A and B are shown apart, each in its own frame.
Chain A
């Protein structure tokens, strides 16, 4: 089993949820698309909220690699 503290686990889950809803999913060219600045604001607030789990803060600095299919 992982030794992660339950609070860490919960924070990871919230962070993963927000990352998915904001960064993933189908992108459609809608008539209205939320400004990136607004979306980034939530992320900043959330990361501040999760600052107690400070190691996760550095998770936002990452390199993305494309989806691979097999």
Chain B
């Protein structure tokens, strides 16, 4: 079977990396697209090691050009059935490849230390205190997100249920604007004592690859 890691443009060479369980990498082309994959005897076991190996291939592929990571655990019986699926999705995948070209994904998590709470006088005071805390947390998340979104071409935004995690977001950023984005993150964190703004990446554009029919 063919186990998939990423979709790239036709003409892309297999990255210099080993696949899941050390399997060599291959490229199957379909129209304007190329699938980076490995020939495996059986579906990979879902282990942390396999997840990290999958991510390693995607990363190596992304270093060589515009790619869309494929979600972990997708395999095709043979090249013909893989080509059929790619042909069906070609226009959406090509649009997505165009959108991520020259860009990387940065992940941001905003965490706040839970403030020590003074014992509330009664139940009502306690609930009001909780509400106030949640409102403040939402305002911080919104503010951080608004500032960072200005530096990005696209973004995903996930409000967390409340302290300590306030925000989990991903931003699609021009590769040459990463430094600037990180500086913004540091400024946001510096201006908000007690708030951690954690920036991870650059990642391949996992959050900006079409998860559905690609109709976005």
Contact = CB atoms under 8 A, between A and B. Distances in A.
Interface stretch (B21-29, B118-126, B130-138, B193-201): B193-201
Instruction: Identify the 10 closest CB pairs spanning chains A and B, nearest first.
Output: A34-B73, A24-B206, A20-B206, A25-B71, A38-B46, A25-B69, A30-B74, A32-B75, A31-B77, A55-B164
Given A2-B189, A2-B196, A31-B1, A24 B154 contact: no
Band of interface residues on B? 35 or more
10 contacts: A2-B198, A17-B55, A24-B69, A25-B58, A27-B74, A28-B86, A31-B77, A33-B74, A33-B75, A42-B48
Contacts of A41: 46
A62 B168 contact: yes
A67 B74 contact: no
Given A31-B77, A67-B208, A26 B46 contact: no
Interface in A1-53: 1-4, 8-9, 12-13, 16-18, 20-34, 38-39, 41-42, 45-46
B196 A4 contact: yes
Contacts of B198: 2, 4, 8-9, 12
Contacts of B69: 20-21, 24-26
Nearest to A22: B72
A42 B47 contact: yes
B176 interface: no
Interface of A: 1-4, 8-9, 12-13, 16-18, 20-34, 38-39, 41-42, 45-46, 55-56, 58-59, 61-70
B143 to A, nearest CB: 16
B43 interface: yes
Name B's interface SS: mixed
Given A21-B55, A26-B7, A70-B153, A58 B161 contact: yes
Given A12-B109, A67-B207, A58 B7 contact: no
Chief secondary structure at chain A's binding surface: mixed
Contacts of B154: 67-70
B165 A58 contact: yes
A42 to B, nearest CB: 5
Contacts of A3: 189, 196
Contacts of A12: 109, 198, 200
A64 B158 contact: yes
A24 B196 contact: no
Given A21-B51, A56-B165, 8 more contacts: A2-B198, A17-B55, A21-B55, A23-B71, A26-B210, A27-B210, A64-B158, A68-B157
